[in-house]
Structure formats: C-alpha cells, structure tokens
Chain A
C-alpha cells in the first residue's frame, strides 16, 4: 500500500509541472480563489489542502473538499460546480461499516449523478472523488450513483459557468425545461452572438461545435439539457 501511494505521488509530481505549464500558457486566468487551490488541472496535482486525519469533517468542509475535484473532461470546472455531486449527508450506520469495510459509528453518504448515460468519465469521477476523500483522511464514506432526478445543465453553478467561459467553452444558455426556445449563445472569446453551428456534437457528448462569425474562432458550446 505504502509503495503504491509513493509511486502515485511521484507520477503526480512529474505530471504537475507539465500540466501547470500548459495551464499557464493556455489559460492565463487569475488564480481562482474560490475553488482552491487551482494550480493544477489534475486533482492529484492540487495536493492535500484539507486534512481530516484527526477529526471528523463537517458537511460544509466536505463540499469544499469535493469542490477541489475537477471534472476529468472539463478540468476547469469542479464536480460540485457541474452539479455532479447531489448530496452529502451523515448517516448513522446500523451496519457499522464504512466504504472500506471498517467499523464506524456512521458514514458520509455522498450521492453523485452521471451527466450523460454514456459518459465514459462516470467511473473516473467516482474514483477521483474517492481519491480526494482518502488523501484528506476522510474514512467513513460511501459513494452512490443516483440516476434520478436526471442531471441537467441548470445545476451548473454561476461560478462553474464563468469558469467554462474562461476555459473557452460557451456555458449552457436557456432553460432545460423549455428545450424549444432558442437560446442566446455567446462566443466565449469575443462575446458575439453571431455564430453558426458546425455540428450538434463537439469534443464530448455534452458539447456542440460552433464557429463565431465575428472573431471566426470555433468554440465548444455546453449543450443545455
């Protein structure tokens, strides 16, 4: 176990330099103070910031912790800001077991929901969350996948939308409950709303491909579903 984690740390360290450099070049945005600390694009790069090895976390602290876990496909946004984490609550456990099968008086029940039925990152996100909890010393938790109510882009926070825009992805426009109404999509680079749709599907299932007719740049649009 010890060996495995040392190796993981080494890999993370060497990856950190590259992804930090890339991040600095590609996205020269000011350090994000809310979603701390966003030095790396990969969660393991962010290091251990919150330590619960010796005390029980509060619910708020856990939300903050998970807010430091980036979405693997859109690493500019955390799994909390994307609305993937649905609930965190402490449950007095009758079974008296946590996720690892150890004795515990209770456990944190964390519910997450997949974005798209076929999103290949679903398992990865669960693992990233598990990793963040373990690195911070949270022991008693159980992660469950919940399908209903089905995920909607309406759950993406304002902070998440702003981060998407800075990342070069136009955030979802409009209301998912009114799919027929044409949404006002803005180019994430120049803010223009003159654009054409290149394809209904972009680099991932959740995005469509557009091109701005003012600055001519192609951009991904996070579809409103």
Chain B
C-alpha cells in the first residue's frame, strides 16, 4: 500500500505544492544523472544528445519549481528548493535516481521515463491550472524528441548484436520494478485529478503499456512480467540510496557556501 504522508497536507495549496515538486523533482534528478555522462558517453554525438536532454529537463524543472515556490509563497525560489532540501523532502520518482549503469541501462531508464513523461505532459496540457498547462505545453514539444531518441536506442540495441541484445534485455529487466510507481496515485494526486488540475495516471498507464509493448516487440526484447513486484515511495519522499549521493554532489556548493552566486 502507498505510504500516506498526505495527512499533513490538509489544504488545497499544500497538495498542489507537493504535486508541483513531484513534477519538478523528477526532471531535476534525471537531468543531474544524465550530466554524469559528460566526458564518458560512448560517442560524441551521444554525449551531446544526453547533455541536451539533461538541459531540457533541468529547464523544465526550473519552471515547475518556480511555480511551486510561487504557490507556497514562503520565500523559497527554484534554486533554494533544488539546493537546500534533503532527500526525504524530494518527491521524484525512484526510477530517475537509479545509477547510470552502462549505456543500455541509461537508455532503458530514459525510455520508460520519456514515455511516461510525454503522456503525462500531454494530459497536463489540459489542466485547468493555467500555469501548469503553459509549462506542460512548452515541455511536451521537447519531450517528444526525447522519446523518439530513446525508443530508437531500445530498438537498435535490442535488435542489434548478440551482446547488445543481452545487455538491453538485462537493462529492461533490472529497471522494470521502478516503473509501477509512475502510475500509483495517492490521495494528493487523486484529489488534484478530481479538481481537474493533475494528470490521471490510470488513463496514462494503458497508453504507456501499449507503447512499451510495441517497442519491446520491435526490439526483440522479452516483455518483463507486468504483475511483478514494484518499488514505490519516491513521490512520498522515501528514496533509494542513490538519491543521497546525487544530492551530496549537486548541493555541495550551496551547502558549503550558502547563497553563493557567480
């Protein structure tokens, strides 16, 4: 069962604030993860692509976190939210904090996230919250390209050499248990869906499953068990050990030299 921390959020705006952190934290952490590839990617073109995607994600994160700060109206801004919250205050999905692993691991993580991200943003374009709809409308164009690229890599590596096929199959199997959480809706999301401002993950789930099934089939990858045990907790602030290490590096400067600017 979902761990309920939303007993604290007894007002509408607190639920909205939490939801905006969820929307902003996932691209932030994935963007940070992707940047770890800088200087290590298998080819120059891939490195450039990974950095560009990371940049898109961090730009989107900034829009979400600025809106979160505006909603909370408690003197926060996007930078403070990114650099001064601890792991348990982060609301990102567990999938994005998983280590880069090899290139197949990175692309499997990216593909599952991109497909979810695109469908979620498409739904958010119809949000009755104008700010949410505007940010989503901008991000959706960018994420369409992210998905196109990661899908191509799943197919190329899956339907590739014996070794690449084996690596991609392993990567898909390893990351699979972090995909279920994307569609779990706790009371915060359910309330906001009823109000017409959040994305209904129940509807997105089927689209995502169809997309994934088609791509994996084309890539000659065996579909993992859809009923397998799924990890969850990221949206409620219960994270895997990976997040602490990411934050330690990402937040170092602001922690060591508070309010430093350049």
Contacts and interface: CB of A to CB of B under 8 A. Distances in A.
B48 A203 contact: yes
A200 interface: yes
Given A147-B135, A147-B138, A205-B52, A118 B57 contact: yes
| Most central of B55, B60, B138 by chain A CB within 10 Å | B138
Interface string B128-169: 000000110111011011001100100000000000000000
Nearest to A203: B48
Given A200-B145, A201-B49, A118 B56 contact: yes
B59 interface: yes
B12 to A, nearest CB: 23
Interface of A: 114, 116-120, 147-152, 176, 179, 198-205, 209, 223, 225
Contact of B138 (A151, A201, A205): A151
B49 A199 contact: yes
B45 A198 contact: yes
Interface in B149-207: 149, 152
A118 B144 contact: no
A150 B49 contact: no
Contact of A199 (B46, B139, B142): B46
B22 interface: no
Nearest to B64: A117
Contact of B60 (A117, A198, A209): A117
B52 A150 contact: no
Nearest to B49: A201
Contacts of A118: 55-60, 62, 142
Given A117-B56, A120-B55, A209-B45, 12 more contacts: A114-B138, A116-B56, A117-B63, A118-B57, A119-B55, A147-B134, A147-B138, A148-B138, A200-B152, A201-B48, A202-B48, A203-B48
Contact of A116 (B59, B135, B137): B59
Contacts of A201: 45, 48-49, 52-53, 145, 149
A175 B59 CA distance: 24
8 contacts: A114-B138, A116-B55, A116-B56, A117-B135, A149-B137, A150-B137, A200-B152, A202-B48
Contact of A150 (B48, B53, B141, B145): B141
Contacts of A223: 145
Top 8 closest pairs, chain A to chain B, by CB: A118-B59, A117-B59, A201-B49, A150-B138, A199-B45, A148-B134, A118-B55, A200-B149
Size bracket, chain B contacts: 20 to 34
Nearest to B57: A118
Nearest to B131: A147
A86 to B, nearest CB: 14
Contacts of B139: 117
Contacts of A152: 141
A148 B141 CA distance: 13
A159 B255 CA distance: 48
Contact of B55 (A114, A198, A205): A205
| Most central of A147, A151, A202, A205 by chain B CB within 10 Å | A205
B138 to A, nearest CB: 4
Contacts of A120: 55
B86 to A, nearest CB: 25
| Most central of A147, A151, A201, A204 by chain B CB within 10 Å | A201
Contacts of B142: 116-118, 205, 225
Nearest to A198: B45
A209 B43 CA distance: 13
